[in-house]
Amino acid sequence: MANSSAIASRPTGTRKKLDSLYVIFLSAVAFFPLILDFVPFYPAGLPSWVKIPYEFYSVQYNDPLFAKHPPFFQLYVFVEAFYLVPMAIYGIVGLIKGTYFFRSVSSNPC
Query: Tens digits of per-residue pLDDT, 34-91?
Result: 999 998 888 988 898 999 999 999 899 988 888 888 888 889 999 999 999 999 999 8
Does residue 102 form part of some domain? no
Does residue 4 form part of some domain? no
**Whole-Å CA distances, 94 to 13, 90, 97:** 17, 6, 5
- pLDDT at residue 8, as a whole number: 52
The contacts of residue 42 (CB under 8 Å, 6+ apart) are 50, 51
Does residue 108 form part of some domain? no
Does residue 87 form part of some domain? yes
6 — pLDDT class (breaks 50, 70, 90)? very low
Does residue 103 form part of some domain? no
Does residue 49 form part of some domain? yes
Q: What is the mean pLDDT of residues 5-12?
A: 53
Residue range(s) defining the domain that contains residue 30: 10-97
